[in-house]
């Protein structure tokens, strides 16, 4: 409830006014779970912008996967991350034997969530795509029937690049692609995903935003 209100009263109006997202392929966005949405990661705004694309009625089901060490570091951020952003915290570093770091994500998928993953791991340089991490392949091998929807954002790195605190308004493009399915092997799946993301990126670069 609190989460839906937050999106209705704060995120949606702010995204509409300050950013303005021009979404292409919106019909491919999943409206029910389980599903995985995969996006490039350039800015703290990515998550909010991506979530603002979903209708309010499904917001409660949308859960971004985020690093526990970063988002649970103090009580205030932790409260916000868990209750408002609705993240699924995962550990990046601590890796005990026999402990599956993706267990909470698989659990959320089994409960019908729409999970958001940024497979680049960390926020990279604006509008570039770093190498995709294998975690998503791991998830898919465990739940091969879940559709994966690739999304590429162009322009958010201009609004709030890594290391900046001042937000500068720009229109942003979001390119959403058809769902991708598991292809039997992790390597093949990761290759297809990377290929699709690069295709979306090519569509995005009509003009390069930077001199």
Partner 1 sequence: MNWVGLPVSVQIAFMAIGGLLAVASLVSLWLVRSKPERNYSELRLRIKTWWIIVGVFAVAVLFNRTVSVVVLGLVSFLAFKEYLSLVPTRRADHRVLFWAYLAIPIQFYWVWMAWYGMFIIFIPVFVFLFLPMRMILIGETQGFLRAVGTLQWGLMITVFGLSHAAFMLVLPAEINPAGGVMGLLIYLVFLTEFNDVAQYIWGKSFGKRKISPKVSPNKTVAGFLGGVLTTTALAVLLAPFLTPLAQYEAVGAGLLIGLSGFVGDVTISALKRDIGVKDSGSLLPGHGGILDRLDSLTYTAPLFFHYVYYLYY
34 binding partner 1? (CB under 8 A): no
Spatial distance between the Cα atoms of 132 and 124, rounded to a whole number of angstroms? 11
Spatial distance between the Cα atoms of 109 and 145, rounded to a whole number of angstroms? 11
126 binding partner 1? (CB under 8 A): yes
Residue 57 DSSP class: G
| Residue 42 in tokens | 């350039």
Of 38-46, 88-96, 107-115, 203-211: span binding partner 1 (CB under 8 A) = 203-211
**CA-atom Rg of the chain in angstroms:** 16
Q: How far is the CB of 53 from partner 1 (least distance, A)?
A: 15
Helix (H) or strand (E) holding 51: helix 45-52
20 binding partner 1? (CB under 8 A): yes
96 binding partner 1? (CB under 8 A): no
Identify residues 146-165 at the interface with partner 1 (CB under 8 A).
Answer: 155, 158, 161, 164
27 binding partner 1? (CB under 8 A): no
* Contact of 144 with 104, CB cutoff 8 Å: no
* Contact of 48 with 118, CB cutoff 8 Å: no
168 binding partner 1? (CB under 8 A): yes
Query: What backbone phi and psi angles, to 5 degrees, belong to 209?
Result: -70, -15
Of 52-60, 101-109, 166-174, 178-186: span binding partner 1 (CB under 8 A) = 166-174
Q: How far is the CB of 86 from partner 1 (least distance, A)?
A: 29
* Pick 20 or 112: Cβ nearer partner 1: 20
* Pick 35 or 172: Cβ nearer partner 1: 172
Going along 134-195, which residue ranges are E strands?
A: 148-154, 172-176
What residues make contact with partner 1 under the rule CB under 8 A?
Answer: 20, 22, 126, 155, 158, 161, 164, 166, 168-172, 206-211
């Amino acid at each position: 409830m609190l989460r839906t209100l937050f999106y209705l009263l704060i995120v949606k109006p702010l995204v509409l006014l300050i950013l303005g997202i021009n979404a292409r392929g919106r019909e491919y966005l999943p409206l029910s779970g389980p599903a995985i949405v995969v996006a490039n990661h350039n800015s703290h705004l990515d998550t909010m912008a991506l979530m603002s694309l979903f209708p309010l009625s499904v917001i409660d089901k949308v859960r971004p996967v985020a690093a526990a060490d970063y988002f649970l570091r103090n009580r205030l951020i932790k409260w916000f991350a868990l209750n408002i952003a609705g993240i699924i915290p995962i550990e990046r570093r601590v890796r005990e034997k026999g402990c599956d770091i993706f267990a909470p994500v698989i659990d959320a998928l089994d409960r019908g969530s729409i999970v958001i993953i940024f497979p680049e791991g960390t926020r990279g340089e604006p509008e570039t795509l770093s190498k995709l991490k294998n975690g998503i392949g791991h998830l898919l091998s465990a739940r091969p029937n879940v559709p994966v929807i690739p999304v590429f954002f162009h322009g958010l790195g201009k609004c709030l690049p890594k290391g900046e605190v001042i937000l500068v308004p720009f229109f942003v493009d979001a390119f959403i692609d058809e769902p991708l399915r598991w292809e039997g092997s992790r390597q093949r799946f990761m290759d297809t995903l990377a290929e699709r993301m690069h295709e979306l990126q090519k569509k995005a670069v009509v003009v390069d935003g930077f001199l």
